[in-house]
Amino acid sequence: MSELKTIDKEYIANTYARFPVELVSGKGSLVYDESGREYIDMGSGIGVTAFGIADDEWKAAVTGQLGKLQHMSNLYYTEPCARLAKLLCEKTGMKKVFFCNSGAEANEGAIKAARKYAAEKKGPDYFTIVTLENSFHGRTLTTLAATGQAHYHELFQPLTPGFVHAPANDLEAVKTAALQNKAAAVLIECIQGEGGVIPLQKDFVTGLAAFCKAEDILLMVDEVQTGNGRTGELYAYMNFGVQPDVVSTAKGLGGGLPLGAVMFGEKTEFTLGAGDHGSTFGGNPVCCAGALSILSRIDDKLLADVKKKSAMAFAALQGAPGVESVSGMGLMIGIKPVKPASDVVKACMENGVLCLTAKDKVRLLPALNIPEDILMKAIEVIKGACA
Ligand SMILES: *Cc1c(COP(=O)(O)O)cnc(C)c1O
């Protein structure tokens, strides 16, 4: 470990503040460090390993495809991406899918589609995208511009122009921003993840959807973190009773392999045409085979289990000593401790539980299939660390 730390420090760009632990293997929601010590994984690689580590069904799907065709250009047809796109559309009512490799890229695809849609429909000055204050949409220069948190922007000016931010849950402010700036689209996270696990208010989301429809402004939902069963519905927007025009997703979709997707609804299904967008790795057959295994298992029973485990976790955490509040939905949970969140996460790690932070919250994004006893064991450790 100390040698690895030295190599990492010397050769890896200094963009990550790592915890002092090297993880080497795992199974399901348990993960092991180099000394064989066991941890309960309550972060699942930031909501990526949707069915845990080295899940047997996912592994069989991935390795089966790996031995057949690990990559092929999008110049040719391949089966896993076509089948995955069909399943995504059948489960959401969306019409078409573009595959890429990450959340930021999915948002880039959504933004490009919005710009083209509005330019064609309303004219070239309808290019602005309205996003919410405290949002997070990625790390590229365009998705940083979309991100409504100034501290991400400071060192990287100039960012892509054409983004304005409005306060979350203030429908009048979003409407004004959209109309004054000739907006092409409004892009939201239904639960702000990096911003501190903060769900939007339901009447704000439904009001926004009605406004967007009336004005022919695209409603785009960033489901990179909230998607793929995380909130107890397949996509978080389904908790709010709205139908977006564009949905971006990534993280949990690939079950641990890099895969992003932009889903287009009726308005935008034909917006991007041949040559308008592309990706060398997008729709990679191995990633898509894994995603097919993940998505086909996010059914009503699994979602009911997510909701049940969520209720158990919320009940155990709410009002516990040292816990100020608990937020989120499904297995996307934010705990506001009295102590600094980073101190709680450190104490949890020392006691064998890996958690994340999001601003002043301890953030939990465990595997969707985490067994109840393991989940509750972790929650007890977290409660102990908060007290
Ligand atoms: C993680 C995240 C992104 C960025 O995803 P990457 O795969 O890291 O590019 C974008 N939006 C939201 C809401 C996210 O949580």
Q: Give the three-state DSSP class for 357.
A: strand
Report how far residue 28's alpha carbon sits from residue 34's, in angstroms, rounded to the nearest whole number. Answer: 18
pLDDT of 288 strictly over 90: yes
Q: Where do we find the tokens 């845990």?
A: 52
- Taking CB atoms within 8 Å and a gap of at least 24, the contacts of 358-361 are 358/193, 358/194, 358/195, 358/196, 358/197, 358/334, 359/194, 359/195, 359/196, 360/196, 360/336, 361/196, 361/197, 361/327, 361/334, 361/335, 361/336
Q: Is the CB of 136 under 6 A from ligand 1?
A: yes
Residue 1: pLDDT above 80?
no
CB of 222 within 6 A of ligand 1: the answer is yes
Q: What is the pLDDT of residues 102-131, one digit of tens each?
A: 999 999 999 999 999 999 999 999 999 999
Q: What is the mean pLDDT of residues 241-261?
A: 98
Predicted confidence at residue 2, as pLDDT, reads: 82
Residue of 44, 101, 108, 194 to mutate, ligand 1, most atoms within 8 A of C-beta: 194
Does ligand 1 have an atom closer than 6 angstroms to the CB of 257? no
Average pLDDT over residues 234-252: 98
Nearest to 200 by CA among 171, 230, 160, 165: 171
Please give the distance, rounded to the nearest whole angstrom, from the Cα atom of residue 249 to the centre of ligand 1: 8
What residue ranges define each of the domains in the chain, with the CATH number in brackets? Answer: 3-54+300-386 (3.90.1150.10), 58-297 (3.40.640.10)
Torsion on CA atoms 192, 308, 317, 135, rounded to nearest 10: 0
- pLDDT digits 0-9 by tens, 32-73: 999 999 999 999 999 999 999 999 999 999 999 999 999 999
Which of 101, 152, 224, 361 best tests ligand 1's pocket when mutated (most atoms within 8 Å of CB)? 224
Nearest CA owner, ligand 1 atom 15: 225
For residue 104, report the distance from its CA to the centre of ligand 1, in Å: 6
- Helices and strands (H and E) in the chain: how many: 12, 17
Could you report the per-residue pLDDT of 316-373, keeping only the tens digit for each?
999 999 999 999 999 999 999 999 999 999 999 999 999 999 999 999 999 999 999 9
Sheet holding 260-264, edge to edge: 96-100, 260-264, 246-249, 218-223, 183-188, 128-132, 163-166
Q: What is the whole-number distance in angstroms between the Cα of residue 103 and the centre of ligand 1?
A: 4
In the prediction, which pLDDT does 367 show? 98
CB of 28 sitting under 6 A from ligand 1: no
Check pocket membership of 103 for ligand 1, CB cut-off 6 A: yes
User: Full-prediction pTM beyond 0.85?
Assistant: yes
Which 3 state secondary structure label does DSSP give 13?
A: coil
**CA 387 to ligand 1 centroid distance, Å:** 31
**189 CA: nearest ligand 1 atom:** 13
102 in contact with ligand 1, CB cutoff 6 A = yes
Q: What is the mean pLDDT of the chain?
A: 98
Ligand 1 atom showing the smallest separation from residue 192 Cα: 13
Q: Mean pLDDT, to the nearest integer, of 379-386?
A: 98
Q: How far apart are the first and last CA of the chain?
A: 31
Q: What is the pLDDT of residue 17?
A: 92
Q: What is the mean pLDDT of residues 215-232?
A: 98
How do strand 30-33 and strand 38-41 relate by DSSP bridges? antiparallel
Which of 136, 191, 259, when mutated, tests ligand 1's pocket best, judged by the most ligand atoms within 8 Å of its CB? 136
